[in-house]
């Protein structure tokens, strides 16, 4: 990194991914900064610079280098691998420590878990710790027991339908387990026969009784923005996952407009939103969402677009661009995903995204779907074909 880049870096000031330290910093303080960055998206610690951005320089480089290594290897759990570089400037030696985003979150420094929050490193909340474990794949929330429920609370017809599907396997026919033993063998009941979150979501008649965040809140707004004064239709969709997907599709169909075009002597009709794409979006939203979050999946239909937002950011990739460029499946809820696949409800998530794009294009749209994500949410936006054919300057619906 040339000197001019160092100065530009310092000019930006401290932030979400940059922190300044002077040479007298302790190994414990460095470890706190390292794990805070690792538990988020990574960052840089610039040593030899005060909080106001003035270069103070580093005098004893060997001692500082040893301190950095000790902080990363001995004060951080799990140990961190950081990149250290030296930069001679006109105002003194500056040391830059590049800290990557961790792959084994959550990380602790001196037995305390930190996260980066704006200009500071703070202690992580219990919710943040669980979410990090959940996102790292070391905590399977869909296998967690729902202690308020029992096997008798599940819909036996749904359970038996699933078993029939699975027993197409000769091995499972030979095993001949009872429904209760079968679900336990599949991981849908715990060893003491308590339903897991996956079992409740798929087989309980009313999952929100035990999991309030299960379900979809759907809205049709007049205009192009969220405005509670302009709600044309709304519905709370509860029930097993297959039902809320079907009910969500019915809501969209009820609120969608038909696009009619004449091709020569023939009348051609197109839905505003292709139902295959709608089903794929809704399915991905309920199967791949973060069920530890207290939020629900939200469907918003506007005059010019439809949005489906689910709790839970990206998993297994660092950006939407990477997800689209390298289509692979990263199921957040492995058990739920596997059972849903067996039941014919869900397919591989990456192929689903490609199918959404293809369905929208084949329906005649000149605008592609938009995929957006941050740490806590994933949003799919489907463009309105009706709006493309009938644009209006009055998007506010007045």
Q: Quick one: average pLDDT of 318-333?
A: 76
Kindly tell me if the per-residue pLDDT of 49 is higher than 80. Answer: yes
**Has residue 272 got a pLDDT over 80?**
yes
pLDDT for the residue 170 = 53
Mean predicted lDDT score pLDDT of the chain: 90
DSSP readout, 339-386? Answer: HHHHTTS---HHHHHHHHHHHHHHTT-SS--EEEE-SSEEEEEEEPHH
d(C-alpha 306, C-alpha 320), whole Å: 19
For domain 3-124, is the CATH number 3.50.30.50? Answer: no
pLDDT of residue 132: 82
Q: Which CATH number fits domain 137-398: 3.55.50.30, 2.70.98.60, 2.60.40.10, 3.30.565.60?
A: 3.30.565.60
Q: Is 37 helix (H, G, I), strand (E, B) or coil?
A: helix
Cα angle, residue 379 at apex, residues 337 and 42 outer, rounded to 5°: 85
Contacting residues for 157 by C-beta, under 8 A, at least 6 apart: none
Surface-to-core class of residue 288, CB atoms within 10 Å of its CB (0-12 exposed, 13-18 middle, 19+ buried): buried
Question: What are phi and psi for residue 65, nearest 5 degrees?
Answer: -60, -45
Confidence of residue 312 (pLDDT cuts 50, 70, 90): confident
Asked if pLDDT for residue 396 goes beyond 60, the answer is no
* Closest by Cα among 35, 58, 38 to 46: 58
Numbered ranges of CATH 3.30.565.60 in the chain: 137-398
Confidence of residue 2 (pLDDT cuts 50, 70, 90): low
Mean pLDDT over residues 358-363, rounded?
95
**pLDDT number for residue 189:** 96
On the CB side of 89, how many CA atoms lie within 13 Å of its CA?
27
pLDDT surpassing 80 at residue 354: yes
Q: What is the predicted pLDDT for the residue at 266? A: 78
Burial class (CB in 10 A: 0-12, 13-18, 19+), 187: middle
Half-sphere CA count of 256, side-chain side, radius 13 A: 24
Q: What was the pLDDT predicted at 13?
A: 92
Q: 98 exposed, middle or buried (CB, 10 Å; 0-12, 13-18, 19+)?
A: middle
Reported confidence tier of residue 168, pLDDT bands at 50, 70, 90:
low
Q: Please name every residue paired with 84 in a beta bridge, in sequence order, or none if there are none.
A: 97
Average pLDDT on 291-306 reads 95
Alpha helices in the chain (DSSP H): 3-11, 27-38, 61-74, 126-136, 156-166, 170-175, 179-185, 197-203, 241-255, 275-287, 320-325, 334-342, 349-362, 385-389
Task: Produce one character per residue of 110-129: b if its CB has 16 or more CB atoms within 10 Å, e if not.
Answer: eeebbbbeeeebeebeeebb
d(CA 145, CA 184): 12
List, in sequence order, every residue forming a beta bridge with 76; answer none if it has no partner.
109
Residue 238 is predicted with a pLDDT of 96
Residue 278 has pLDDT above 80, yes or no: yes
Please list the residue range(s) of the chain that carry CATH number 3.30.950.30: 3-124
Distances, alpha carbon 27 to alpha carbons 65, 84, 290, 385, in Å: 11, 15, 35, 58
Tell me the average pLDDT across 246-264: 91
Alpha carbon dihedral 27, 29, 31, 36, in 10-degree steps, equals -170
Axis crossing angle, helix 334-342 with helix 156-166, rounded to the nearest 10: 80
Q: What is the pTM of this model?
A: 0.75
């Amino acid at each position: 990194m040339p000197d001019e880049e160092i100065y530009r870096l310092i000019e930006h000031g401290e932030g979400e991914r940059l922190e300044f330290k002077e040479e007298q910093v302790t190994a414990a303080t460095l470890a706190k900064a390292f794990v805070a960055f690792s538990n988020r998206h990574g960052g840089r610690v610039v040593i030899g610079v005060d909080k106001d951005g003035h270069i103070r320089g580093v005098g004893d480089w060997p001692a500082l280098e040893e301190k950095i290594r000790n902080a990363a290897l001995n004060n951080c759990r799990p140990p961190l691998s950081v990149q250290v570089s030296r930069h001679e400037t006109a105002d003194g030696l500056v040391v830059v420590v590049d800290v990557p985003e961790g792959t084994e979150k959550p990380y602790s420094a001196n037995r305390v878990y930190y996260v980066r929050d704006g200009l500071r490193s703070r202690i992580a909340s219990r919710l943040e710790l669980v979410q990090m474990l959940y996102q790292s794949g070391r905590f399977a929330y869909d296998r967690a027991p729902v202690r308020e429920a029992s096997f008798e609370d599940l819909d036996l017809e749904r359970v038996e339908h699933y078993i029939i599907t699975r027993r197409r396997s000769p091995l499972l026919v030979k095993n001949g387990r009872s429904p209760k033993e079968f679900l336990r063998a599949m991981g849908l009941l715990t060893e003491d026969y308590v339903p897991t979150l996956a079992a409740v979501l798929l087989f309980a008649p009313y999952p929100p009784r035990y999991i309030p965040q299960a379900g979809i809140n759907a809205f049709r707004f007049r205009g192009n923005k969220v405005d509670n004064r302009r709600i044309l239709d709304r519905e709370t969709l509860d029930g097993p996952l297959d039902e809320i997907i079907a009910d969500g599709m019915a809501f969209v169909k009820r609120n969608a407009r038909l696009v009619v075009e004449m091709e020569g002597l023939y009348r051609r009709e197109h839905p505003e939103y292709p139902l295959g794409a709608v089903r794929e979006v809704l399915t991905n939203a309920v199967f791949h969402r973060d069920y530890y979050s207290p939020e629900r999946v939200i469907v918003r239909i506007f005059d010019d677009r439809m949005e489906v937002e689910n709790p839970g950011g990206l998993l297994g990739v660092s950006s939407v661009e990477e997800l689209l460029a390298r289509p692979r499946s990263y199921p957040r809820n492995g058990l739920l995903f596997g059972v849903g696949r067996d039941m014919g409800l869900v397919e591989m998530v990456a192929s689903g995204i490609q199918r959404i794009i293809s369905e929208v294009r084949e329906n005649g749209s000149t605008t592609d779907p938009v995929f957006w994500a941050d740490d806590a949410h994933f949003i799919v936006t489907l463009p309105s074909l009706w709006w493309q054919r009938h644009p209006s300057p009055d998007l506010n619906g007045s």
